[in-house]
Amino acid sequence: MADAKVIPFGDEPRSRRVRNGKAVKRPMGRSRTAGSLAPVPEQQTGPDASPEPPVRTPEERRPAVGGLERRIAGGLAFLRRRVTGDYDVDEFGYDKELTDQVLMSLVRPLYEKYFRVEVKGIENIPSEGGALVVANHSGTLPLDGLMLQVAVHDRHPAERHLRLLAADLVFMLPVVNELARKAGHTLACTEDAERLLERGEVVGVMPEGFKGIGKPFADRYKLQRFGRGGFVSTALKAGVPIVPCSIVGAEEIYPMIGNAKTAARLLGFPYFPITPTFPWLGPLGMVPLPTKWTIQFGEPIQTDGYPAEAADDPMLMFNLTDQVREQIQHTLYKLLVERRSVFF
């Protein structure tokens, strides 16, 4: 989830658009005889009287019927569409139905129960139209990008989808490549970002790249270099707001205390992390620590007031890049001061 070298996308084949084609009876009590009837007490009035329960209509009293059946039918219909190919993907490979019904459901327990993510400032993302969300990057593994995607979808009133720009390494890994495409992610190249923004999508970028996600634990919450400001140029050309985003909690899930550079070169990775649990505990060492997360979206920086040639002004891009970076860093420090504990 980071800036990467610009990879020409025009020669790469695009993903195709696919198109093929009970009511509960009230329990019976004991019948009352005339001799067993007790006198009805008079209704109390005044401030000490108990409020009467609200009158419920027959529809409200009727229990939900067929909930399980509807879920089963929906699941079978979903499987039928997957088997027959009767579903849509966009030119980037994004499969909205699969993302909403499967991929989000797999990640959501991690978001809600494990990291207990708290979201602030979600109203700063517009309800419609394009926007560029710029966030810090950390955590050794890019779980922060996934949590950010769930936060935007689940907490925004319009249930907007975040289209993340990812490094080329993501699309070189088997299985991960296909899942990233299906979830709506694309290469971190200017052309794709501009096209998504022009279509009114919310695009996410983490400019620190591997420098941020692979930094040692001693440098946690210290922003690394934000590249050459390419994301600012993209926002200026599209005329969309830039929404700074600060994520606290991801730095501690895999405390990186070392980097096995030789192993990284052999595997073709930008770094090979050594943590207190990995690789010493094997696969068990890959379980992240259950830290408490906070994601805050800051005040948007508007770009529609700049002239068309502003994207070619290097000084303006430098100033806007520095403004976004400083806003994210300041919010990180503020959230850290307010945080009671890493885990609570």
pLDDT, mean of residues 175-193 = 93
pLDDT, mean of residues 127-146 = 96
pLDDT in tens, 70-123: 888 888 888 888 888 888 899 999 999 999 999 999 999 999 999 999 999 999
| Burial track 293-327 (b if 16+ CB lie within 10 A, e otherwise) | bbbbbbebbebeebeeebbeeeebbeebbeebbeb
Kind of pairing between the strands at 118-120 and 242-248:
unpaired
Q: What percent of the chain has pLDDT over 70?
A: 81
Q: Could you state, in order of their start, the residue ranges of all structural domains in the chain?
A: 96-253+288-338
What is the Rg, in whole angstroms, of the alpha carbon atoms belonging to the chain? 26
pLDDT in tens, 27-83: 443 433 333 334 444 444 444 444 444 544 444 444 444 578 888 888 888 888 888
Q: What is the CATH number of domain 96-253+288-338?
A: 3.40.1130.10
pLDDT of residue 259 exceeding 70, the answer is yes
Do the Cβ atoms of 190 and 196 come closer than 8 Å?
no
Tokens of 279: 């690789």
| Dihedrals phi, psi of 296, to nearest 5 degrees | -120, 125
Distances (CA, A) of 159 to 119, 135, 155, 207, 266: 14, 19, 7, 25, 42
- pLDDT at residue number 54: 52
